């Protein structure tokens, strides 16, 4: 900063010296032309003041021109950048629809994978305690349960007497946990689907007991069936 100020001082001093020399030369010419000392001094001072004023005015004008050109150039650059970054409404809508479509497809793929893993778990866990027909219907009921559909005609799933109510509760909790369903919704589901096994248990009881880890049970709690 100090170096820059020094450079300006040298420049202004050089210009001032030049203007003084010009004013002095004009004064000498005035004396040679017959003007008295007073008039020659007035001419000298006037020439120096006027030339200095012109220099300052030119300097200010040049500074303003440079500032204007820089600002105008920057404004054009910003405007061009904004024009490049502005997306037409139609293009924006198309981008949104594409993103939305991709999101829906990905969500469906994720849900299908969850449901597939739950169906595999059901077959592996329940094959020893019910028929193949019951397994297929149970998987269909679970698909409706996952999609929040209400099955119109539910034929209760009959299971081997070895399975107790707590086993069905554990099964329901595992399914609900894997599919991200509320306890109350899961409790209502297993109450309807396993009506015979759960006939002695109310919804509130199922909600409270379904995550109890009891030692004497065939179906254990398993929160990781879709891992």
Question: Are residues 101 and 193 part of one domain?
Answer: yes
Output the DSSP codes for the chain. -HHHHHHHHHHHHHHHHHHHHHHHHHHHHHHHTT--HHHHHHHHHHHHHHHHHHHHHHHHHHHHHHHHHHHHHHHHHHHHHHHHHPPPHHHHHHHHHHHHHHHHHHHHHHHHHHHHHHHHHHHHHHTTTS-HHHHHHHHHHHHHHHTT---SS--PPP--TTS-HHHHHHHHHHHHHHHT--HHHHHHHHHHHTTTTTTT--HHHHHHHTT---SS-SS---TTTT-
Q: How many domains are contained in the chain? A: 2
Q: Is residue 111 part of a domain?
A: yes
Q: Which of these three, 85, 107, 127, is where a domain ends? A: 85
Whether this model's pTM surpasses 0.75: no
* pLDDT per residue rounded down to tens, the chain (227 residues): 555 555 656 666 676 677 677 767 777 776 777 777 787 778 777 777 887 777 777 777 777 787 777 766 666 565 555 555 555 677 777 888 888 888 888 888 988 898 999 999 999 999 999 999 999 999 999 999 998 887 668 899 999 999 999 999 999 999 999 999 999 999 999 999 999 999 999 999 999 999 988 778 999 999 888 77
Q: Is residue 36 part of a domain?
A: yes
Asked, for residue 218, whether it belongs to a domain, the answer is: no
Residue 217 lies inside a defined structural domain of this protein: no
21 and 73 part of one domain? yes
Same-domain check for residues 64 and 141: no
């Amino acid at each position: 900063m100090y170096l820059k100020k020094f450079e300006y001082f040298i420049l202004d001093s050089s210009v001032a010296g030049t203007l003084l020399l010009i004013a002095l030369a004009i004064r000498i010419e005035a004396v040679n032309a017959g003007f008295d000392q007073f008039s020659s001094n007035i001419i000298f001072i006037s020439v120096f003041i006027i030339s200095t004023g012109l220099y300052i005015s030119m300097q200010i004008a040049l500074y303003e021109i440079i500032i204007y050109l820089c600002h105008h150039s920057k404004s054009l650059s910003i405007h061009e950048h904004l024009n490049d970054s502005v997306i037409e409404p139609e293009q924006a809508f198309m981008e949104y629809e594409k993103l939305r479509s991709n999101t829906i497809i990905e969500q469906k793929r994720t849900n299908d994978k969850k449901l597939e893993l739950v169906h595999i778990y059901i077959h592996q866990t329940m094959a020893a305690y019910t028929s193949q027909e019951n397994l297929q219907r149970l998987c269909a009921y679970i698909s409706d349960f996952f999609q929040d559909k209400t099955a119109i005609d539910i034929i209760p799933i009959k299971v081997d007497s070895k399975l107790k109510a707590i086993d069905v509760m554990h099964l329901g909790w595992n399914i609900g946990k894997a599919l991200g369903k509320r306890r109350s919704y899961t409790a209502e589901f297993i109450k309807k689907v396993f009506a015979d096994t759960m006939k002695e248990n109310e919804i509130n009881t199922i909600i409270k007991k379904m995550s109890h880890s009891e030692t004497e049970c065939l179906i254990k709690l398993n929160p990781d069936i879709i891992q």
